[in-house]
């Protein structure tokens, strides 16, 4: 066999082996991410995680509005106290 062909085949084999290792690492990372997703948010799929994210965004918006409302109320009360002093 031509040494150039043999060299090319060896390079291809190395690329394939490297790719297999990379795939295994990615699969391991994916497995850990799904495990963390399940433990932290009780979601077992990306779709469930997206739904949970939307719920959390809505809850966050609601809380921000409540905080803003309470802050404005406190400002009014403080202003009234300052005016009465």
DSSP per-residue string spanning 25-37: HHHHHHHHHHHHH
Q: Do 42 and 51 contact (CB within 8 A), yes or no?
A: no
DSSP E strand stretches across 3-42 = none
pLDDT of residue 23: 98
The stretch 56-70 carries a mean pLDDT of 98
Task: Please report, rounded to a whole number, the percentage of residues in the chain having pLDDT higher than 70.
Answer: 99
Q: How confident is the model at residue 43 (pLDDT cuts 50, 70, 90)?
A: very high
Instruction: Provide the 10 A C-beta neighbour count for residue 48.
Output: 14
pLDDT exceeds 80 at position 85: no
The stretch 54-70 carries a mean pLDDT of 98
pLDDT exceeds 80 at position 11: yes
The stretch 57-67 carries a mean pLDDT of 98
Q: Minimal CA–CA distance to 44: which of 34, 54, 30, 59?
A: 34
Instruction: Report how far residue 56's alpha carbon sits from residue 54's, in angstroms, rounded to the nearest whole number.
Output: 5
């Amino acid at each position: 066999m031509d040494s150039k062909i043999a060299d090319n085949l060896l390079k291809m084999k190395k690329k394939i082996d490297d790719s297999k290792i990379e795939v295994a690492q990615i699969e391991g990372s994916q497995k850990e991410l799904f495990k963390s997703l399940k433990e932290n948010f009780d979601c077992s799929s990306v779709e469930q995680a997206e739904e949970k994210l939307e719920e959390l965004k809505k809850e966050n918006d609601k809380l921000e509005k409540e905080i803003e409302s309470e802050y404005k109320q406190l400002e009014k009360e403080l202003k009234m106290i300052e005016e009465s002093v």
